[in-house]
Amino acid sequence: MEVRARIKARALTLGATIVLALALMAASAPGAGAFVYWSNLGGKTIGRANLNGSGVHSKFIAGAHYPEQIAVGGGHIYWANFGAGSIGRANIDGTGVKQGFIPTTGHRPEGVAVDGAHVFWTNEDNGHGNTIGRANLNGTGVKENFITDPNGPFQLAVDSGHIYWTSCCDIGRANLDGSDAKPAFIDDPGSDTPGAIAVDAAHIYRTTSCRGWIERADIDGNNLKTHFLNANCPNGVAVDGAHIYWSAAFGDFQQAIARANLDGSGTKPSFITGQPDPYGVAVDGLSGPGPAHCVVPKLKGKKLRKAKKLLRRAHCRLGKVKRRKSKRRPGRVISQKPKPGRVLAPRAKVSVVVSKR
């Protein structure tokens, strides 16, 4: 019996070791389940490849209308159909294509970005567009004039707390709910083209088209480096946890997707080649999803304990609690700040006033 027990124990240990090894191999496999995407402006398609540059599929999604910037999030791919005046969308595997997912009535979208709650896009109107639009992830609740910038917003990026955009020739920023808009968040008088934009947890990146550089600034807008990376006429740009990707449709390295390390070293100008006028670039799968945004719930009339639970579920947290005499039953929330529906950074604080006798 003792020998059998030892054999069984060794078998279980060996089995657990094999399972753990396979799990570690799957987790460490480079680019496993992750892709880089790009829009082919000339070919009117969306391309896709593995993060190591293999498995190139130039016509991963067909039928787009001069697609410019693209974005990935929430299990979907989004692109700005400049030629058709719409935001297109498909499932992350390329199925369920909807070229007119969000009609941008009377406008031609150029930039597009997505977070956990909304789709954002820039509106171009015969060279005079000056607004950023927004809609819910399901395409409802369209607001064409969500943010206004007289300098003409061009391309977009979002993080957990802000929306960023390029214009000629600054970088703008606003809160995710559109408040505190700063069209010249980063003043860059040396730039003469709007360019594309990408952000990560530490930095903001912008292309300068045929000036031949990718710029980089700290996420707070300081320490702008106008010659961070020599990129040979970059158009679109994207970043993940390890690399910077950009499209090069002009210059010495035409029709290619290029790549470099996050510190600007190890440039591969012909990382993916042979693409018909690549433009927008997006990546997914490597860094993993960020923390969910705080979508402020309605707390009025709730007991304080219930309000705390609602805040936790909405990825918010309780801020200051004041108590005020009221005709309402004691212990109930009678007002809150911010108001319900606001989209804030993850775990943002919500202050409340609670009734007392």
What radius of gyration do the chain's Cα atoms show? Answer: 24
Distance, in Å, from the CA atom of 127 to the CA atom of 129, rounded to the nearest integer, reads 6
Per-residue tens of pLDDT for the chain, all 357 residues: 443 343 334 333 333 332 333 333 333 333 445 899 999 987 899 999 999 999 999 999 999 999 999 999 888 999 999 989 999 999 988 999 999 999 998 788 999 999 989 999 999 875 557 899 999 999 999 999 999 998 889 999 999 889 999 987 789 999 999 999 999 999 876 566 788 999 988 899 999 876 778 999 999 999 999 889 988 778 899 999 889 999 986 554 468 999 999 889 999 988 999 888 899 999 985 433 445 567 788 999 999 999 999 998 888 899 999 999 998 889 999 999 998 877 666 688 999 999 998
- Contact of 270 with 323, CB cutoff 8 Å: no
pLDDT tens-place string over residues 324-351: 999 888 999 999 999 887 766 668 899 9
- Domains belonging to the chain, first-starting first, are 35-284 (2.120.10.30), 294-356 (3.30.10.20)
- Entry pTM: 0.72
Could you tell me what percentage of the chain is helix, strand and coil, using 3-state DSSP and rounding each to the nearest 5? 10, 45, 45
Distance, in Å, from the CA atom of 122 to the CA atom of 107, rounded to the nearest integer, reads 9
Q: Which pair of structure tokens corresponds to residue 99? A: 């070229």
The span from the first CA to the last CA of the chain, in angstroms, equals 73
